[in-house]
Structure 1
């Protein structure tokens, strides 16, 4: 399957639908208070860049975002691929695009929070294959059995 990954606004109906599907997918996996979701309006903020994966027919099949926290720290947010395309490297393509933009922006440490437990095994595999390693609690997330944290160092010092 041919996939294109581009920067797009999340304020499109098909992207809103993807984010809604992501939220529905996450609901049964961990307590709601440990689901740190961004709304599409928050995703449209100046500190966040949203990537959308589309198939050869232009159908949105996945999304992910880079949130810039400043100080050389970027965060991967709202990673999701539709079940029908899982295993076809759509998540990898999204993560590669996010990582490349992070490098261009001078991000030195790319981080993420995801859920904990066997329901997240595919996500762990994606992140670890992409060079992320487990780390301790980061940013302002609570220390909880419901979260797993990852980081990927892109450079030793911030770009000048």
Structure 2
């Protein structure tokens, strides 16, 4: 399957649809107070870069974002792929694009918060396969049984 990934505005109907499907997926997995969702308007802020994956027909099939917290720290936000493309490396390609941008920006660390439980097992596998390691809570996220925290320290040397 041919997939293209590009930086796009989240203020498009098809990207709004991805956000809505992500929210629907997350809703039953944890209490609302432990769901740290960015709205589409927040995703469109100057501190956030949104990547959209599209199939060969141009349909939006996945997304992910890099939110900058400082000159050293970035956070992966709103990672999602449609169910019909899971297992086809769309999520991996999105995550590679996000980490690549973090490297371009000379960030020293990329972090992420995600849910726990069976509904998030695929996401955990993606993050650990991609080089993220578990860590404790960061920023203003509370430590809880509903959240898992990951980080990827970035060396600034690019592989040959």
* TM-score above 0.5: yes
For structure 1, the residue ranges without an aligned partner over 5 or more in a row are: none
Q: How many angstroms apart in 1 are the aligned matches of 2:29 and 2:11? A: 26
**3-state DSSP of counterpart to 1:28:** helix
Q: How many angstroms apart in 1 are the aligned matches of 2:51 and 2:21? A: 16
1:94 corresponds to which residue?
A: 94
Q: How many angstroms apart in 2 are the aligned matches of 1:97 and 1:143? A: 28
What are the residue-to-residue correspondences of 1:2-151 with 2, within 5 Å?
2-151=2-151
Q: How many angstroms apart in 2 are the aligned matches of 1:155 and 1:145? A: 31
**Would you say how many aligned residue pairs link Structure 1 and Structure 2?**
156
Q: How many angstroms apart in 2 are the aligned matches of 1:4 and 1:119? A: 26
Q: CA deviation at 1:29?
A: 0.4
Q: Which runs of 4+ in 1 moved over 2 A?
A: none
Q: CA deviation at 1:155?
A: 2.3
**TM-score for the superposition, normalised by structure 1:** 0.96
Q: How many angstroms apart in 2 are the aligned matches of 1:137 and 1:121? A: 19
**3-state DSSP of counterpart to 1:84:** helix
For structure 2, the residue ranges without an aligned partner over 5 or more in a row are: none
Q: How many angstroms apart in 1 are the aligned matches of 2:141 and 2:132? A: 18
Q: CA deviation at 1:40?
A: 0.5
Q: CA deviation at 1:152?
A: 0.2
Q: CA deviation at 1:117?
A: 1.4
Q: CA deviation at 1:131?
A: 0.1
Q: CA deviation at 1:125?
A: 0.4
Alpha carbon RMSD of aligned pairs, Å? 0.8
Q: How many angstroms apart in 2 are the aligned matches of 1:106 and 1:33? A: 33
Q: How many angstroms apart in 1 are the aligned matches of 2:71 and 2:98? A: 17
**TM-score for the superposition, normalised by structure 2:** 0.96
